[in-house]
Chains A and B, each alone.
Chain A
Amino acid sequence: MLRYVLRRILWLIPVIICVSFIIYTLLSLAPGTIVDKMITDSTTQAELQEIMAKYDLDKPMVYRYAKYMWGLLQGDLGTSQITGSSVWQSFIARLPNTLWLALASLVIGVGLSLPLGILAAKYSSTIWDNLTTGFTLIGMSMPSFWLGLLLLRWFSLDFKIFPAGGNAGLKSFVLPAITSGLMLMAMVTRQTRSAMLEVLHSDYLRTARAKGVPEKSVIRVHALGNAWIPIITTIGNVLSRTLAGQAIVESVFSWPGIGRLTIEAVEQRDVTLACGCVILTSIIYVLLLLLVDIMYAVVDPRIRAQYQGTKKSKKAVMA
């Protein structure tokens, strides 16, 4: 298991190289540079050349990328070309906002989706199932910016319960967390329902019932225990997306997260900051997927046994 985790972590190296190269190339190919919008209208061509040289924009992209990667090799993500602050610090300053928001949406999403999914599967083809399916369909198809604005309209303007933007205490988490949590909830509910439907009709559940195991235990222990894998996969995927920054939700709620930071860096052609944000986001993404893999082993003894089995069989071969 440990070897597997190490191998996955080592995979981060090519991921970082690829991601940084792609984002660096794309930003360099995009029309305009960081200085275009910054300079004043009175700037002369000679002054412009001097400013371009300051940002190495008079040199080829390969040179700039190599310089960036050399810094990265030494653990330096560079400084924002706009603000002059360290990319790492800019990212870290915004990361807690995104982490808390992701956690809150996870609580809302998973907290609702599991009971709803189980309910829909258990009472399949009934009104409960139809209601849940309808609800999840709405959750999945409703654009988050629209849902966000609706929630703002109702809860910030009409009832004045929650603030309309910014990160100013616990209350300000509620609406953005619901907005991003609803999408998570919809996807996980559907996944839970289909996974549960599959196991609910299996032979071992029939046997458990025949043996007189109480229905609650049948559902909670035997059915859900075997349906975890696809559910965890869905949670992992949706959560990665949330953590990677939900630029739309963050924009609607003026939430100072990493999604907005990345978008702003791209808009301003701040290549160093944009690249740094994308690299760090990719690392989070890869680590989350790794965590999902580890969770598989935690919830499913068969997968755990596989890892142990591999170890044992290798030992046997060695002997």
Chain B
Amino acid sequence: MKKCRKSALVFLSLAMVFSLLISCGSAADSPSGTPGTFTEDGQLVLPTGVEFVDDLVVISDNNKFSVIDIDNPASNVLTNRWIDTLVYDTLVDCVAGKIVPSLAKSWETADSKHFTFKLRDDVVFHNGEKFTAKDVIYSFQRHQAAKGTQAYDNTKNIETMNAPDDYTIEFTTKDVDVDFLMELSNVYTSILNQKAIDADAEKGAWVGTGLWKIVGFASNDYVKFEVNSSYWGQATPTKKLTLKYVVEPSTRLIQLQNGEAQACFQLDQTDYQYAMADPAFRYETVTVNSSMYLAFNMNDKITGDINFRKAVAAVINRADMIQVAQAGFGEAPTDGSWWGIQTEFRNTDIPLIKQDIELAKEYLAKSSYKGEEVEIVAGNGDWVKHAQLAQAELQKIGVKIKIFQTDANGLFAYAKYDGNQAQMVAYVGPFSFSASSIKSFLYPGSVANRASYNNQEVAKLIDQATVTIDVVEREKLYKQIQQIEADELPFIYLYARTTVFIEDKNVGGVRLSADATHDISRIYMVKSK
């Protein structure tokens, strides 16, 4: 009897350890459920013979949405991008990095400087106005006046716009612009209606041609949408949609679990395990182009030394960072290029400096570092965790690290190109599908160049690449830029973050994108039988 009890105890303990191991395993091991079924041109294939829920609620991520106006700089946040995708349309669309028609049926260019677009003639705005080429000119002029916005960035290269008829629009760019179509596919280049904006500057900016129209908005609280029944494209079975901002991550999980919301863009890392253990939910993931990085002030005595930078690169433990900061939802690079994970022309031939403490010590010995305290500036949240882990690893080779924690505004003011006060910066670099997005980080004078990196050769190569029409030549130039960056290491690529979209198991139709322009416009939910 005693033996029996003992065996039972051992069995029970083993079972407990086993279940603990399962629950402690990386949450990112395998995604559950299936993503919505989309065809290659972005059309959604709906399940048949089922009934759909009319009204859905989706919880957004940590970002607030203060304002809905493409031309307001405050809309430069991810959440606004998702809202804009619901409300507006662009001339062309980008599906998995490929340009497809949207408000423009077709387009042509012979020299990547002169572009002609043929527009759809069956599109109406939410206010009932018919869409014409004049709306394109009005919208783009408005975008061009909005300095500091994505809308401005994407249209600032347009020199002239001409509408020979209501459904044809011609553009001439200042320089050859090989990324012009990609820029026009960006949701911030959407088409607005002049009449609506003239009538009401605030609410008029909510009027688009998209599948969803805004019927209610409270700043940093919620946006309510109703389906646009006269939408020109594919319809959706959902009738009403609410996107809401929930400050507290635990409240997001509770709202999801009690059915107040059917999907959620972001939970706290510690909460993922609860949602994933619940059979009522499934999750979809996409690794986004945004790369977590450590930047070095190239003008600083210590961090300006290449051997010091190499020592840091050789000491970083990426797996730990992904586990600690993202609960396993991230992708470490397999090469040494600082580039978006799905950005075109990635140079995969550059070797990655892997963690090697001995090698790090060798680099450090060759550097001018003499035991001084080095400061890492980190924005709140994940970046502090990166800085703390870097601090722990660097301690192993004798580098003293001090962490300066601040919010994003503080970090931007502290670590800027001119008068950079930071020695090292732990932050994130958002890349797009287009290789030209590297310009923001490596070009002298750019506000995102937090390394104060000034290499005239790189600047020249970037200028050259953006006007090179020949794809093979362009690829060579961008790969050369990556090689120089890897040699000089102003930035160390830590990993790419994986976005996790948690949804009810009956929800579908969500299209996650590597450029973080996630599209929930066709979200649906099948009624449970």
Contacts and interface: CB of A to CB of B under 8 A. Distances in A.
Do these two chains really belong together in a complex? Answer: yes
A164 B153 contact: no
B244 A42 contact: no
Interface stretch (B15-23, B368-376, B411-419): B411-419
Contact of B260 (A35, A93, A163): A163
Nearest to B221: A256
Given A85-B202, A163-B260, A253-B251, A42 B446 contact: yes
A31 B148 contact: no
A157 interface: yes
Contacts of A149: 248, 250-251
A37 to B, nearest CB: 5
B251 A41 contact: no
Interface residues of B, number: 52
Nearest to A47: B147
Chain B CB within 10 Å, residue with most, of A32, A93, A156, A267: A32
Contact of B417 (A45, A164, A251, A253): A45
A83 B218 CA distance: 11
Contacts of B414: 31-32
B148 A256 contact: no
B72 interface: yes
Interface string A17-37: 000000000000011111111
A84 interface: yes
Nearest to A50: B147
Interface in A28-60: 30-45, 47-48, 50-51
A160 interface: yes
B150 interface: yes
A252 B407 CA distance: 21
Nearest to B441: A41
For chain A, the bracket of interface size reads 35 or more
Given A157-B254, A268-B66, A41 B408 contact: no
A95 to B, nearest CB: 14
A133 interface: no
A23 B251 CA distance: 31
Contacts of B258: 156-157, 160, 164
B403 interface: no
Interface in B249-282: 250-251, 254-255, 257-260
B408 A165 contact: no
Nearest to A31: B410
A51 B221 CA distance: 27
B260 A36 contact: no
Contacts of A50: 147
Chain A CB within 10 Å, residue with most, of B202, B259, B406, B446: B446
A275 interface: no
B67 interface: yes
28 contacts: A30-B409, A31-B406, A32-B408, A32-B413, A33-B413, A35-B148, A38-B74, A39-B73, A39-B76, A41-B448, A42-B153, A43-B148, A43-B153, A47-B148, A85-B202, A90-B219, A149-B248, A153-B254, A156-B260, A157-B257, A164-B254, A164-B260, A166-B244, A254-B244, A254-B245, A254-B246, A254-B248, A267-B407
Interface of A: 30-45, 47-48, 50-51, 82-85, 90, 93, 145, 149, 152-153, 156-157, 160, 163-166, 251-254, 256, 260, 264, 267-269
